[in-house]
Amino acid sequence: MLLVISPAKTLDYETPPKTKIRTLPDYLDDSQELINRARKYSVLDIAEIMQVSQKIAELNFDRFAKWKTPFTPENAKQAVLAFKGDVYTGLDAETFNANDFKFAQKHLRILSGLYGLLRPLDLMQPYRLEMGRKIETDRGKNLYEFWGETITDGLNKQLKKIKSDYLVNLASNEYFKSVKPKLLNAEIITPAFKDYKNGEYKILGVYAKKARGLLSRYIIQNQLTDPEAIKDFAEDGYRFNKSLTKGNTWVFTRKQ
């Protein structure tokens, strides 16, 4: 199986990385093209496009200005260790051992507005560029058009490499829209996590994000390659709910 998750807005470049093993992103030329475009924006432009505060806009204006190649351990950090947030709290890659990192490197991919597709141990420099933002380039009016079929091609390449016909979608809708399902050489399974509230099961953002990370961790640490084994996931009180599951949207529920 190949897993895909979303990146996070929060980053940690202060904590020393757990591993010295590192790789480089496959699409740095594309990233450089986006950086060149982003450098033409003023702080006010960035605030408007990203819908963020002046302070965050200034931070990212500075990040775009400082972004440079080559990536080294001195100016970059492995993606899975740099990202923080609810998904990455559940994933807790800081506690991975060597075998966990090795399996994750083959079976986990992070979708990214700036880098396109990241392996867990790919070095990356700090950024914020959400996939859904309308960044106009020569390739189109937004990042979905900029990346086109590139991300899907990268996923197909890895699916072939690991000899798998299954992709487990643990990304947000915003990021998974960068994947073209009709061109993907795999069956897509989309786990959904629901909590019981006010008499019904609902997807609650923060909890669902953390659960995506927990399931990713479960798959990685148990080195699962058979999708059916996902149904045994029982972390944090979640259980597979056959009655609510429809097709390849596999629902996991819990009552707090």
Render pLDDT for 62-76 as a digit per residue (tens, 0 to 9): 999 999 999 999 999
Render pLDDT for 108-138 as a digit per residue (tens, 0 to 9): 999 999 999 999 999 999 999 999 998 999 9
What is the reported pLDDT for 141?
A: 95
* Cβ neighbours for 103, distance < 8 A, ≥ 6 positions apart: 220, 223
Burial of 37 from C-beta contacts in 10 A (0-12 / 13-18 / 19+): middle
Give 251's strand partners: 192
**Do 89 and 59 form a contact (C-beta atoms < 8 A)?**
no
Q: Is the model's pTM score more than 0.95?
A: yes
What is the reported pLDDT for 35?
A: 97
Which residue ranges make up each domain of the chain? 2-12+79-122+131-254
What residues of the chain score a pLDDT lower than 70? 256
- Beta strand 200-202 with 187-197: parallel, antiparallel or unpaired? antiparallel
Q: Single out the residue of 216, 102, 100 nearest to residue 167, CA to CA.
A: 216
